[in-house]
Amino acid sequence: MNAAVLHALGKPPRFESFPEPSAGEGEVIVNVRAAALKPVDKAMARGEHYASFRELPVVCGLDGAGRLEDGSRVVFAGPRRPHGAMAQRTAVARARCFPIPDGVDDDSAAALLNPGMSAWFALTWRAQLAKGETVLILGATGVTGKLAVQIAKLHGAGRVVAAGRNEPVLSTLGSLGADATIRLDTPDQDLTAVFVREAGAIGFDVVIDFLWGHPTEVLLATLGRADFAAARSRVRLVEVGESAGPAISLPAAVLRSTKLEILGSGSGAVPPLDTIVDSYHQMMSYAASGELRVDTERVSLAGIEAAWERQHLQGRRLVVIP
Ligand SMILES: NC(=O)c1ccc[n+]([C@@H]2O[C@H](COP(=O)([O-])OP(=O)(O)OC[C@H]3O[C@@H](n4cnc5c(N)ncnc54)[C@H](OP(=O)(O)O)[C@@H]3O)[C@@H](O)[C@H]2O)c1
């Protein structure tokens, strides 16, 4: 069968033939229809992710959408290595396959699974977002950030402030529910002033952070200012991604002088299985009703090397079609 096969960390995978998977105990074979190409797939292939590959060659792709042998449509996550999602077929634990409702196409289902669940868990399970609260999203112009804007509103956020660099994408976020946008590519002093202005009198209750690095440092320095320290509530900052950098410098005084709480959300910090399943069904029902949208662009599996190098995707998710 055809697959996107990784032979060396730090290089793109190659389109080539790979042995067919066979189902082991508790597993099914999925005929893949669409596999999302995400930052985490690239980070794993670079060897820079905590779940990076230890043995090569391996087929890339953490998740996707496809058909089981009985014809049912499913999304799946975590194929058994060396198999992956970017292939014509893959082997996955049956328990890691979930039905796709009518009204959600394969490309959208594949594109939604990882970022949608991630944004959902960060807001609901980690931050415990309450109705009426103010949410700041750092990195709102990415696929996961755009979903976080929508999911925050669907969960009753009173005000969503969306921060990113890409002005054309920022200008679309109002239609997804953002109440205000912040341009991050401004000098620190100006950015600080904008954070203060958008926080208003009550501050941010929740920060969902897909960036880390310098934008987070500017925000934290702002939170430490006296005008912010008076904010009425706990500030729950959930660290989800590191598009702007893997590390920050955190002044101790910020933790002592504010009600800041820093949490993480990722594969090592997930809710119990019943919460995962319930959240998935709720998320997909919002997608089926058109209340949750993800922008996708199809690329062929044969073109994986060029697709792998693509940058500046304008808030769209590439979806690999085998
Ligand atoms: N922990 C989890 O479970 C989980 C799940 C999903 C995603 N993530 C992580 O979250 C991050 C974003 O994912 P995504 O799906 O939204 O990716 P994406 O669609 O590729 O978008 C990338 C985002 O990062 C921003 N960005 C990139 N470099 C930047 C920089 N140097 N400074 C400031 N902003 C920068 C982009 O801003 P502009 O477009 O405005 O330039 C855009 O908002 C990634 O690190 C990803 O691995 C984690």
Run means of pLDDT, 10 residues per run, the chain, 322 residues: 97 98 97 97 92 92 97 97 98 97 97 98 97 97 98 98 98 98 97 93 93 97 75 86 96 90 92 94 98 98 97 95 98
Question: Is beta strand 317-321 parallel, antiparallel or unpaired with respect to 27-37?
Answer: antiparallel
In a shared domain, residues 175 and 242: yes
Would you say residue 274 lies in a domain? no
Q: Which atom of ligand 1 is nearest to the CA of 314?
A: 39
In a shared domain, residues 94 and 173: no
For residues 7, 8, 14, 16, the Cα torsion angle rounded to the nearest 10 degrees is: -10
pTM above 0.95? yes
Q: Which two tokens stand for residue 66?
A: 């496809």
Residues in contact with ligand 1 (CB, 6 Å cut-off)? 38-40, 114-115, 118, 139, 141-145, 164-166, 169, 184, 210-211, 215, 240-244, 265-266
Question: Is beta strand 58-59 parallel, antiparallel or unpaired with respect to 27-37?
Answer: unpaired
Could you tell me the sign of the dihedral formed by the alpha carbons of 137, 259, 271, 238, in that order?
positive
Task: With beta carbons less than 8 A apart as the criterion, state whether 90 and 21 touch.
Answer: yes
Angle at 166 between CA 162 and CA 168, to 5 degrees: 95
C-alpha of residue 104 to centroid of ligand 1, in Å? 24
What pLDDT does residue 229 have?
55
C-alpha of residue 51 to centroid of ligand 1, in Å? 18
Q: How far apart are CA 241 and CA 106, in angstroms?
A: 25
C-alpha of residue 290 to centroid of ligand 1, in Å? 24
Strand partners, 99: 74
In a shared domain, residues 128 and 196: yes
Q: What is the number of structural domains in the chain? A: 2
In a shared domain, residues 182 and 260: yes
Q: Which two tokens stand for residue 4?
A: 């996107």
Q: What is the pLDDT of residues 17-68, one digit of tens each?
A: 999 999 999 999 999 999 999 999 999 999 998 888 889 999 999 999 999 9
Q: How far apart are CA 2 and CA 282, in angstroms?
A: 34
Angle at 37 between CA 32 and CA 43, to 5 degrees: 125
In a shared domain, residues 85 and 8: yes
Pocket test for ligand 1, best of 117, 124, 211, 214 (most atoms within 8 A of CB): 211
What pLDDT does residue 238 have?
98
In a shared domain, residues 235 and 178: yes
Residue labelled with tokens 């509530």: 233
Would you say residue 73 lies in a domain? yes
Would you say residue 104 lies in a domain? no
Q: Which atom of ligand 1 is nearest to the CA of 166?
A: 40
3-class SS at 307?
helix
CA distances from 191 to 64, 91, 116, 255 (A): 38, 47, 28, 21
What residues contact 59, with CB distance under 8 A and at least 6 apart?
A: 3, 4, 5, 6, 13, 18, 79, 82, 83, 84, 85, 86, 87, 90
Q: Return the residue whose CA atom lies nearest to atom 9 of ligand 1.
A: 241
Q: Which atom of ligand 1 is nearest to the CA of 40?
A: 47
C-alpha of residue 138 to centroid of ligand 1, in Å? 9
What pLDDT does residue 231 have?
60
What pLDDT does residue 54 have?
86
Angle between helical axes of 188-199 and 213-223 (0-180°, round to 10): 60
C-alpha of residue 147 to centroid of ligand 1, in Å? 12
Expressed as residue numbers, the domain containing 49 is: 2-99+293-321
Would you say residue 277 lies in a domain? no
Q: How far apart are CA 97 and CA 313, in angstroms?
A: 28
What pLDDT does residue 71 have?
96
Residue labelled with tokens 């997909």: 284
User: Which of 264, 285, 307 is the endpoint of a domain?
Assistant: 264
C-alpha of residue 245 to centroid of ligand 1, in Å? 10
